[in-house]
Amino acid sequence: GKPTLYGSLTCQGIGLDGIPEVTASEGFIVNEINKKSIHISCPEENASSKFLAPYTTFSRIHAESITCLDVSSGGGLGVSSSTDGSMKIWQASNGELRRVLEGHVFDVNCCRFFPSGLVVLSGGMDAQLKIWSAEDGSCVVTFKGHKGGVLDTAIVDRGRNVVSGSRDGTARLWDCGRSACLGVIADCGSSINGMAVGAADNSINLGSPEQMPSEREVGTELKMLLLAREDKKLQCLGLQSRQPAILALACSQVFLFVGSDAFNCCTFLSGFLLLAGTQDGNIYQLDVRSPRVPVQVIHRSGAPVLSLLSFRDGFIASQGDGSCFIVQQDLDYLIELTGADCDPVYKVATWEKQIYTCCRDGLVRRYQLSDL
């Protein structure tokens, strides 16, 4: 609600160490600068950001917009999908192509590694989920049952079961070993844009299942399922109990939260804290134990929040205006991951101190946090 403060940075030349010498206009301070980052603050507004350049950029993986990516648990491999309909596995260190995963019809919306790092789960506009071998690129399992495109997935525990969310409004639980649907966990009547599975804190009552769960259901007890819905609702329920969200029941603490716009993405920060991002740029932080009022709402621009990822003691968010930033509790400044200009950054993945982003401009960028 206040007028914007504008300032400029001027490069006075390059120092002997190869680092630019930069001065800031009135009201702004250049705190620190090196070859990969510049830290700027505005004392009057108590604002401070460190802008970090990509360590490397991979331009040869895809020719068009990259909609999703993930990095394996060992950090060796990346997987990404593009609007050109392709899904590829590549070397995370240098972007060298390893496998092309062919089998989906139309766009692949989401792809992620299983905890083993050897297997990939994907979902596409063809309403199918597929499991692939990262070692030889073969499709080992195909799940059919959704009536609309699969928009997001989550892996339960070590991966005997997976969950999927679709445009058809349902969230389904699948048994990977028998490639069968174990049940519809939620039927929202509205597109499920994002989902997350998290272990619940002991203080949270997830309810109990109406009937005995199948013995093929592994690791679903004490797990919460979070659904980011197109109808402006964020739904949290017990994964095993399938308890619907009823706020009137004080005993059942699963909930339905109504936001300002369609929810695009969500993630758990802990056993009771979660984040969810909306189409109009709000990031809601909620406490599952008292979800009626958000812990905080972060709003940096009106651009859609496209991905959220828990990171160290904070999180990483990416938006539709090309901004991608890291909030950490122990830092008094934001870290801005630069390079995307005005193209949406669709997804972020991390491995140790490395952060990977994928963007509409068709580039995968890798940032090195040790550069800080």
Question: What tens-digit pLDDT sequence spans the chain (372 residues)?
Answer: 678 899 999 999 999 999 999 999 999 999 999 999 999 999 999 999 999 999 999 999 999 999 999 999 999 999 999 998 899 999 999 999 999 999 999 899 999 999 999 999 999 999 999 999 999 999 999 999 999 999 999 999 999 999 999 999 999 999 999 999 999 999 999 999 999 999 998 888 887 777 778 888 888 988 999 999 999 999 999 898 765 444 333 334 478 999 999 999 999 999 999 999 999 999 999 999 999 999 999 999 999 999 999 999 999 999 999 999 999 998 999 999 999 999 999 999 999 999 999 999 999 999 999 855
Both tokens of 188, joined, read 């929202």
pLDDT for res 3: 87
Q: Tell me the C-alpha distance between 39 and 30, whole Å.
A: 6
- Label residue 178 left, alpha or beta by phi (over 0 means left) and psi (-120 to 50 means alpha): alpha
Q: What is the DSSP track for 142-153?
A: EEE--SS-EEEE
Query: For the chain, what is the total number of helices (H) and then of strands (E)?
Result: 0, 33
Residue with tokens 């002997």: 16
Q: Tell me the C-alpha distance between 229 and 186, whole Å.
A: 11
pLDDT for res 243: 59
Q: Tell me the C-alpha distance between 173 and 348, whole Å.
A: 25
Both tokens of 256, joined, read 């339905």
Q: Give how far Cα 327 sits from Cα of 155, 275, 317, Å.
A: 25, 12, 8
pLDDT for res 249: 37
CATH code that applies to domain 59-325+342-368: 2.130.10.10
Both tokens of 245, joined, read 């969200």
Sheet with 282-287, side-by-side order of all strands: 263-268, 273-278, 282-287, 296-299
The pTM for the full model equals 0.94
The residues of the chain that CATH labels 2.130.10.10 are: 59-325+342-368
Is the C-alpha dihedral spanning 333, 335, 339, 344 positive or negative? Answer: negative
